[in-house]
Structure 1
């Protein structure tokens, strides 16, 4: 029996010739990730283990992104805890204010993740790096602690779902529309503990930023991970960003899949996820008249250059509707600077937005855009659970940067064709 992409990567890192779905393995890790919320718990667990140091100071990444710059005393204490741990253990890849970014945009940009890696992170959207052909998945802080101490983690090998991507998308259709369509189709538990493997000739129409978005939201379908095969676009990205060697894996022709779906990009429409689950999706022509209060463009899902360029193209020379608050968050300092150099930030500010330092802030209802009772927000983030971005009686509508920008102009959920 053949293996999937994910199974091949796990077998190689476990020192085995082959693995099968459901098998328990112990695998070597290429990177262990934590942030300012999850790392303090892991650090306390390491202290209880009484281990000396970490397994490899170059294979740990600690990113201050959720509440940095600190929003209150508690978040300052968390960051101080991580900062002191990073200093004590000489952690090479420690990212704080000034060289920060949202972790799942920052690490690929810094060349820390490449094809063939096994990566764990104490953040559920660690699955993002599957866009590069890596196996990456979220874990709890105790598993992060064990990973930092030993360089190993245990896994139950997942079965897989194959998504055959075909066709060419229409204008304004992006990776966000693709993954929202898929989640709406299979449900938030449709890929529970399974690998979501994206293949097909239609991948050539998806940019790296599109692929990062799709892999990022695999967890919203319950997926253990999302993964793409390596192609010329992937190789070009890794060559530009990383000096690390990488290994390409392709699924065997006789690999087994629990389900197979064909996604025709040419048939997709702009898609919006209504409250309070990501699978509660409607196409833009099914939305109706939904007035909004706030728009957020950013996050580890949609704060990259493609996202900002699309939003700016729609907003050029336009103003937001009266009473609409718009927060734009470039995902990293490098993206912030590039957006500045391209004039995108000027476009956002002239339209009436504020531009934030890179932060996860509003996505998790932390700061920089918390919602009050009864308020509605169109957001390019990845979750719209009850109370996710603020008050339990607020509402979050997940959408692409194109839909978010158009909605900011009209004051209600709208597609780009409504304003262009």
Structure 2
């Protein structure tokens, strides 16, 4: 009987021949925490009476959720992380370096075939480059930091076969929102989502990260893709590590398989207050929006900023709206500056903030007012997600956000694409 990607990686990392629903203890290739979870992991580390980490070169902490610190109490937590990182000689990404899920692959810490945990639910992002990566709690993170191992229940796999090619003006964000709307927020709970097909092969690696990032929004444990030529080229550009790619066997057993043709997909919007409350833009176009956000670990990459800049070039943000742009990393911000992309966004009226998660999680850098509508490229729109439970958050692609900022209302971006 053949194996899925998830079964193969967990078999290799546990040294056992495993299948779905087996319980294993597996070796970790990389471990990561962010400033919302690392302080709790440090406390658990101390409570476990540990003194050393399993490998300082394979443990990172990232200050990105409240970066720079907006509050005295947060500053104390950041200092705990800096002290721990210094004492244990682990990797630390400090304020302004960027979002954890951009930095981990961008800085070459993970490669195809790896097994990775992070104390953040969107750690599933790295599945786009053939990595089994998943979110864990702070106590499990501490155990991983100490031992370099963690236990898993091997997930069943939900296979998404995506045929056709996305139409012009429709992006990977629209595709993943559509899939989440179709299978619902718990339609793939504790499964490995495996994305295959012509539509995936056509996407850039930046686009693929967007899809894997949001696997958790359908309940999935990870969002896996096979490694093709684009993947290998991207990984070799960012990492000097040796690796072996992992593909599913042709006779692998799947818990569920769904097939789609994406050729006629239109831009999608997730409406408040759940990510699976999805509809085509045509059903919600015209709703006034007071704020837009382009960024986050889902859509703050260079391609996302370029797409927005292409629409906003020579345009102005509507007088009744405001746009916040948060590049996903310092490197992306610098590249966007050098090529003029940020200049276009700023001239249009955007406020560019420090690379980080602030607007998405509602810690700072853009908390909306009561009753305001926000159109965001983020991955969640739960009530209160952006820091105000009386605001309404809609999710869409960078193109949809950019177009909506010109008109001041939810707008089909294809109206502005030449």
Query: 1:7 aligns to what?
Result: 7
Give the superposition deviation at 1:334.
0.3
What are the ranges of 5 or more consecutive residues in structure 2 without an aligned counterpart? Answer: none
After superposition, the C-alpha distances for 1:66-117 in whole angstroms (9 at most, x for unaligned) are 01111111110111000000000011x211135x110101111100111000
Q: What CA distance in whole angstroms lies between the structure 2 residues aligned with 1:266 and 1:205? A: 12
Give 1:326's aligned residue.
Answer: 323
SS of the equivalent of 1:9 reads: helix
State the partner residue of 2:100: 103
* 381, 396, 400: which one aligns with 1:399: 396
Residue 155 of structure 1: CA displacement?
Answer: 0.4
Q: Identify the match of residue 351 of structure 1 among 343, 348, 351.
A: 348
* Counterpart-to-counterpart distance in 1, 2:390 and 2:161: 38
CA deviation digits over 1:233-252, x for unaligned, max 9?
Answer: 00000110000111211111
- Looking at structure 1, the residues matched to 386 and 220 of structure 2 have their Cα atoms a distance apart, in angstroms, of 23
User: Matches of 1:402 and 1:113 in 2, distance apart?
Assistant: 29
SS at match of 1:53: coil
Contact 1:162 1:197 in 2 (8 A): yes
Report the Cα distance in structure 2 between the residues aligned to 1:162 and 1:417, rounded to whole angstroms.
30
CA contact (8 A) 1:181 1:271 kept: yes
Is the aligned partner of 1:238 residue 2:257? no
User: How is 1:15-414 mapped onto 2 (pairs within 5 angstroms)?
Assistant: 15-16=15-16, 18-91=17-90, 93-98=91-96, 100-414=97-411
Shift of 1:202: 2.4
Verify the 8 A CA contact 2:381 2:393 in the aligned structure 1. yes
* Higher deviation after alignment, 253-262 or 313-322: 253-262
Shift of 1:11: 0.6
Q: Which runs of 4+ in 1 moved over 6 A?
A: none
- TM superposition shift of 1:418: 2.6
CA distance in 2, matches of 1:229, 1:311: 29
- Of residues 121-130 and 163-172 in structure 1, the stretch that sits farther from structure 2 once superposed is 163-172
Say which SS state the counterpart of residue 375 (structure 2) adopts. Answer: strand
Cα displacement (A) at 1:272: 0.5
The superposition leaves residues 215-266 of structure 1 with CA deviations (integer Å, 9 ceiling, x where unpaired) of 0000000001000000000000011000011121111111111111112221
| 3-state SS of 1:314 partner | helix
Q: Is the 8 A contact 1:409 1:419 kept in 2?
A: no
Distance 1:416 1:386 in 2: 26
SS at match of 2:236: helix
SS in 1 for 2:144: helix
> What runs of 5+ residues in structure 1 fail to find an aligned partner?
none
Distance 2:28 2:384 in 1: 35
Give the whole-Å Cα distance in 1 for the aligned partners of 2:416 and 2:93: 39
